[in-house]
Amino acid sequence: MNSPVSLVVQKFGGTSVADPDRIRAVAEHIVRTSHQGHEVVVVVSAMGRTTDDLLRLATEVSSQPPGRELDMLLTSGERISMALLCMAIAELGTQAESLTGSQAGIVTDTDHGRAKILEVRADRVREALAAHRVPVVAGFQGVSTARDVTTLGRGGSDTTAVALAAALGAEACEIYTDVSGVFTADPRIVPTARRLPRVSFEEMLEMAATGGRVLALRSVEFARNHHVPLHVRSSFTWEPGTWITELGTREAGMEQAIISAVTHDTSEAKVTINGVPDQPGIAARLFRALADRSINVDMIVQNVSVGGQADISFTAPKADLPVSLEVTRAVADELGAGDVTHDAAIARVSLIGAGMKTHPGVAATMFQTLAESGVNILMISTSSIRISCVVRSDAVEQAVAALHTRFELDQPPAQGSA
Amino acid sequence: MNSPVSLVVQKFGGTSVADPDRIRAVAEHIVRTSHQGHEVVVVVSAMGRTTDDLLRLATEVSSQPPGRELDMLLTSGERISMALLCMAIAELGTQAESLTGSQAGIVTDTDHGRAKILEVRADRVREALAAHRVPVVAGFQGVSTARDVTTLGRGGSDTTAVALAAALGAEACEIYTDVSGVFTADPRIVPTARRLPRVSFEEMLEMAATGGRVLALRSVEFARNHHVPLHVRSSFTWEPGTWITELGTREAGMEQAIISAVTHDTSEAKVTINGVPDQPGIAARLFRALADRSINVDMIVQNVSVGGQADISFTAPKADLPVSLEVTRAVADELGAGDVTHDAAIARVSLIGAGMKTHPGVAATMFQTLAESGVNILMISTSSIRISCVVRSDAVEQAVAALHTRFELDQPPAQGSA
């Protein structure tokens, strides 16, 4: 058996190809990788703020742009960046071939604006590789089963890259971005935050879900389900970044810190419905009504008070607050519940760590740290590798910094610690 | 037999969709046409200066952009304009569906940058019409037999519109632009220039070839060959413009003026090779050599002088002058000919008129008019419905104005005059 040439998928985000200088730098890196003996498949996003500019144009001609036409509009952005990138690669003497989502065989359902990939028919990508041309594929876009152009939604380019990596059996999927990897906390808030050399898919999923902006949740899920190792790294320094992989038991024992990172998120608001009769099925009714209006509810906390009545609080995106309140008030009226209150000045602070599964007391230490810093906790929710606390938004930076110090995240984990 | 609904193709150029306001105005016109009971198929160019902006980006990353990638880049422009136009139409309550060149079935050869249409498979256009959606097709682009995105070259959107009109059996192809039709001369030079209500394909071809900028030569040829009546009109006033049609003998007798228009062109330079031995095959050798370098030679004049030697002059685009001179000098050396001289300060003035076929003396009147105006003639060439004179470029406005007055082009032709 011949040892196959190693294949790597390299995905470049909007800031990585924001202008002709950046495009030339990216082209040089691709050619360098290729000269090192790798087969390279490139996935590229639209340049810089192109997508936002196009969206603004759409709002100027339409109050409610049809999804099909919005997708046709937005997908022009990647055509521009991928064609320019191919030109820049060709300028360096290496052949390249741009492929639209359709040409690359990214087949999706017909749900415009947030289409799901059904299948990857990467024949033309393989043909390009066989002809020694670097395939440069448009991220974020596909072709629907109805032969229409679709987009995969925000973060869709990462998903394109992971799907291609899975379909082609790539050794790794490199996600290039404007940060140098995944950090123990947001370096803008915690100057001593440290780049993590490696995290597990599960940790990354929790980070993505709780405010870590580096990777979209969906692409991490896709990578985990298809066993595609991810490597998040900088397109400005080109240094090694953070690997996101499956961790075997031994590796977990060898390398895994108790806590990997502190994340935070200020994009949500809290809604509380007070004095709900404590009967079965009431929470179901409320959250079904919210789901019917496509409200993406995040944390849910229900307390039963002494009088047999319950308070239900939930968080949801601030942008959806008017609809969330409308739905919640309607349900409260039906149930004969009390007031509906809301609070947009909240933030969520989360501790993530695969190691906490086997270390009791992490939650207690977290609560105590926040208390000692004078940070009041408004809501709590936990998973097996995450603890989240909702706090007042003006306390978020203090909370993140205190937790980062308390769990010694500015120090690399000791060798052999469990 | 049912009388079919009349079908009209409406093509909007870049200035017609230059910004959201213009796009809304175009959408209103399309919906108005549709409400008048017509089936409308729309062809649209990229917005305003989009194509130039994209070309500038390409030059920033590449000294010689590969044709395939340049086409991928440039075709993003029409995706943007057509998607926005569909949104604006939908905003007015009428359904619309954007179609790329590929989706509209514009099948071309593989000659990137100037592909030729081989076939129009307009199934999806017909499906949209049957479903009462206005098809909005990207001009200027197609899909090659190798499944790559192609462009049709400058003026390609007009060609797309005419090709679709021919394939769909449209009643007319309306070309909307920023002028109100075809004029007897350039109104910027001749303030009394008059809009022509109707010209023949042949006259329009001569006008397009001699500086009339309204329509690309190629689209007029296509329309003539496929018997598609063209209607050039303004997207700013929406008034009737100029019809370009086949003229029957009776119509020609009824309406045809001797002269329809004066055109001019300052985009060419003149090259002269002096003292060429007067032997067969020499002109062939020179113009084959120029053709091999893709020099688009326009006028050619050869004079045999008394000594048995010839001077050969030709005009070609100013942009190609360096290559033209290089080729001509090489041929002159081979032949042992004399000097090669050139002159970029020239202009061509042409009289166009299907009526001149049957009216001798037009040429004499033209030369006399120029002489009386003190305009020196450097070269002359004629066709059956055109006479062109090359003059010094600083005399061009005077020449155009004098001819426009002498042939009474500011007056509508007398009723019944032949």
Question: Could you say which of A63, A64, A83 has the minimum Cβ distance to residue B69?
Answer: A83
* Average pLDDT, integer, range B352-370: 84
* Average pLDDT, integer, range B88-113: 97
- Amino acid identity, position B220: V
Q: Are the CB atoms for B200 and B245 separated by under 8 Å?
A: yes
Q: Which residues pair with A334 in a beta bridge?
A: none
Binary contact (B103, A147; C-beta < 8 A):
yes
**Which residues have a Cβ under 8 Å from the Cβ of A45 and sit 6 or more positions away?**
A11, A12, A13, A14, A16, A17, A77, A78, A81, A139, A140, A157
Order of strands across the sheet that contains A309-317: A300-304, A309-317, A268-277, A340-343
The tokens describing A375, both together, are 């940070």
The two most distant CA atoms of chain B are separated, in Å, by 77
Q: Is B245 left (phi over 0), alpha (psi -120 to 50) or beta?
A: beta
Binary contact (A23, B61; C-beta < 8 A):
yes
The predicted-structure confidence for B298-331, as pLDDT tens digits, reads as follows 888 877 666 777 788 899 999 999 999 999 999 9
Q: CB-hemisphere CA count at 13 Å for B75?
A: 33
Q: Which of B349, B418, B412, B347 is nearest to B386 (CA)?
A: B349
* Average pLDDT, integer, range B18-40: 97
The chain B residues in contact with chain A (CB within 8 A) are 20, 23-24, 27, 54, 57-58, 60-66, 68-70, 72-73, 75-77, 79-80, 82-88, 90-91, 96-98, 100, 103, 124, 147, 149
Q: At residue A250, does pLDDT exceed 50?
A: no
Q: Note the pLDDT of residue B414.
A: 58
| Distance (Å, whole) CA A360 – CA A340 | 36
For residue A82, list chain B residues with Cβ-Cβ distance below 8 A.
72
Q: At residue A289, does pLDDT exceed 80?
A: yes
Q: Are the CB atoms for A418 and A253 separated by under 8 Å?
A: yes
The predicted-structure confidence for B148-166, as pLDDT tens digits, reads as follows 999 998 789 999 999 999 9
For residue B77, list chain A residues with Cβ-Cβ distance below 8 A.
76
- Which of A26, A57, A81 should be substituted to probe chain B, the one whose Cβ sees the most B Cβ atoms within 10 Å? A57
Ordered by where they begin, the domains of chain B are 7-255 (3.40.1160.10)
**Which residues have a Cβ under 8 Å from the Cβ of A322 and sit 6 or more positions away?**
none
- The number of helix segments (H) and strand segments (E) in chain B equals 13, 20
Q: Which residues pair with B278 in a beta bridge?
A: none
Q: At residue B253, does pLDDT exceed 60?
A: no
Q: Note the pLDDT of residue A1.
A: 40
The predicted-structure confidence for B106-130, as pLDDT tens digits, reads as follows 999 999 998 999 999 999 999 999 9
* Average pLDDT, integer, range A370-387: 88
Q: Note the pLDDT of residue A414.
A: 58
Query: pTM, whole model, 2 decimals?
Result: 0.84
Residue A93 C-alpha, separation from nearest chain B C-alpha, in angstroms: 11
| Distance (Å, whole) CA B345 – CA B323 | 18
| Distance (Å, whole) CA B118 – CA B144 | 9
Q: Note the pLDDT of residue A38.
A: 95
Q: At residue A3, does pLDDT exceed 50?
A: no
**Residue bearing the bigger pLDDT, B294 or A3:** B294
ipTM topping 0.85: no
Q: Which of A373, A396, A345, A363 is nearest to A210 (CA)?
A: A396
| Distance (Å, whole) CA A328 – CA A354 | 35
Q: Assign A417 a pLDDT band (cuts: 50, 70, 90).
A: very low
Binary contact (A66, B86; C-beta < 8 A):
yes
State percent of chain B over pLDDT 70. Answer: 94
Task: Tell me the pairing of strands B309-317 and B300-304.
Answer: antiparallel
Q: Assign B86 a pLDDT band (cuts: 50, 70, 90).
A: very high
Q: Assign A145 a pLDDT band (cuts: 50, 70, 90).
A: very high
**Residue bearing the bigger pLDDT, A336 or A366:** A366
- Which of A73, A82, A87 should be substituted to probe chain B, the one whose Cβ sees the most B Cβ atoms within 10 Å? A87
Binary contact (A76, B73; C-beta < 8 A):
no
Residue A267 C-alpha, separation from nearest chain B C-alpha, in angstroms: 30
* Average pLDDT, integer, range A180-202: 92
Q: At residue A71, does pLDDT exceed 70?
A: yes
Secondary structure (3-state) at B363: helix
For residue A57, list chain B residues with Cβ-Cβ distance below 8 A.
20, 80, 84
Task: Nearest chain A residue to B50 by CA: give it.
Answer: A80
Q: Note the pLDDT of residue B249.
A: 46
Q: Assign A298 a pLDDT band (cuts: 50, 70, 90).
A: confident
Q: Note the pLDDT of residue B411.
A: 86
Q: Which of A354, A359, A326 is nearest to A342 (CA)?
A: A326
